[in-house]
Amino acid sequence: MKDNMQFFLLLLVLVVVLISCIRIVPQAQAVVIERLGRYHATWDAGIHLLVPVLDRPAKRVNLKEQVADFPPQPVITKDNVTMRIDSVVFFVITEPKLYAYGVENPIAAIENLTATTLRNIIGSMDLDTTLTSRETINTEMRSQLDVATDPWGIKVNRVELKNILPPDAIREAMEKQMKAEREKREVITLAQGKKESAVLTAQGNKEAAILNAEAEKQTAILHAEAEKERRIQEAEGQARAIRALKEAEAEGIRLLREAGADDAVIRLRSLETLSKMAEGESTKIIIPSEIQGMAGLLAGLKESVDAVRKA
């Protein structure tokens, strides 16, 4: 009975030791194992067995992408302007063994390396270039940091400059300059707007004047054509009236001639003409002898007619 109890206790101890030797590594993590003080293996995610006494976990490594946000670093530009720049480094551990044995404090090493690299890059640029070349600075820093951290098992994926803080005096000068530039652009925009408005107004007035001139020209042409047509119609009416008058006179003369009164007709027409001339403003009238004889004859006829009427 005592032997069975000892066996059971021994079995229980072995089970406990075996369970304690089982290690589970979570996803996106790695464990660096040392055996007798030397590097032995790197455990990936899954179940692993740790040899008691001989093996020990030296370092647990996070394989996720990590972010290191460093405080602002003082840097000096090429034109001797001191400013403060804080940066953010995105990195991932690719070799747990190198990360565990490459450098004592990897994060502090990255911070110092970032500061020195940033000073070297900014020192080759002036203030204006620094403020307008964020993308260039980010790319250059990522390239240099990636090369420098490769022996540590670290890959730098991205570097971003979060803030660039120039001195207060320079910042105030920049703000004044930006304000002056905005006011200048405003004045230029207003001037261009007035210029374009004046040009459009002039073009509108020109087009309106052209249209008015065309309209007046068309109106004048229509009036002239109407006046011409009126005069033509009046002339045609007068011509027709004269023609009708002449035809009537000719017809009357023809009838008189057919009646055998040619001389009498001529003399009567002469008298009519003289009567019209007498109505004018002339004070002297020359009467032909033939017409005088005709007048005497007419006077005699008139007296004879009057005597007959009295009888």
Q: Dump pLDDT digits (tens) for 13-22.
A: 777 777 778 8
pLDDT of residue 222: 85
pTM: 0.55
Write the CB contacts of 106 (distance below 8 Å, at least 6 apart in sequence).
99, 152, 154
Q: Which of the pair, 282 or 156, is modelled with greater confidence?
A: 156
pLDDT of residue 262: 53
pLDDT tens column, 216-227: 888 888 888 888
pLDDT of residue 282: 53
Q: How far, in Å, CA of 207 to CA of 204, rounded?
A: 5
| Res. 256 pLDDT band, cuts 50 70 90 | low
Average pLDDT, the chain: 80
Sign of CA dihedral 76, 80, 82, 87: negative
pLDDT of residue 301: 46
In what side-by-side order are the strands of the sheet with 55-62? 38-43, 29-35, 55-62
Q: Once rounded to an integer, what is the mean pLDDT over residues 14-43? A: 87
Which phi-psi region, left, alpha or beta, contains residue 37 (left: φ > 0; alpha: ψ -120 to 50)?
left
Report the SS3 class of residue 247: helix
Q: How far, in Å, CA of 162 to CA of 68, rounded?
A: 12
Quick one: tokens of 65?
Answer: 């992408």
Q: How far, in Å, CA of 6 to CA of 173, rounded?
A: 88
Amino acid at 64: K
Which phi-psi region, left, alpha or beta, contains residue 36 (left: φ > 0; alpha: ψ -120 to 50)?
left
Q: Once rounded to an integer, what is the mean pLDDT over residues 250-257? A: 67
Q: How far, in Å, CA of 284 to CA of 38, rounded?
A: 164
| Res. 40 pLDDT band, cuts 50 70 90 | very high
| Res. 279 pLDDT band, cuts 50 70 90 | low
Q: Which of 2-6, 52-56, 90-94, 230-234 has the lowest mean pLDDT?
A: 2-6
Q: How far, in Å, CA of 38 to CA of 54, rounded?
A: 10
pLDDT of residue 308: 45
Q: How far, in Å, CA of 248 to CA of 255, rounded?
A: 10
Q: Once rounded to an integer, what is the mean pLDDT over residues 256-283? A: 56
Q: Which of the pair, 170 or 310, is modelled with greater confidence?
A: 170
Residue 1: alpha-carbon gap to chain centroid:
100
Alpha-carbon distances of 142 from 25, 136, 148, rounded to whole Å? 31, 10, 10
Q: How far, in Å, CA of 91 to CA of 61, rounded?
A: 13
pLDDT of residue 231: 84
Quick one: tokens of 250?
Answer: 């000719």
Given a contact cutoff of 8 angstroms between Cβ atoms, the answer to whether 114 and 146 are in contact is no
Q: What percent of the chain has pLDDT over 90?
A: 26
Write the CB contacts of 52 (distance below 8 Å, at least 6 apart in sequence).
17, 20, 21
pLDDT of residue 305: 44
Q: Once rounded to an integer, what is the mean pLDDT over residues 54-78? A: 91
Residue (of 301, 235, 244) closest to 268 by Cα position: 301
Quote the DSSP letter at residue 43: E
Q: Which of 107-121, 147-161, 228-242 has the lowest mean pLDDT?
A: 228-242
pLDDT of residue 94: 93
| Res. 234 pLDDT band, cuts 50 70 90 | confident
Q: Once rounded to an integer, what is the mean pLDDT over residues 254-270? A: 59
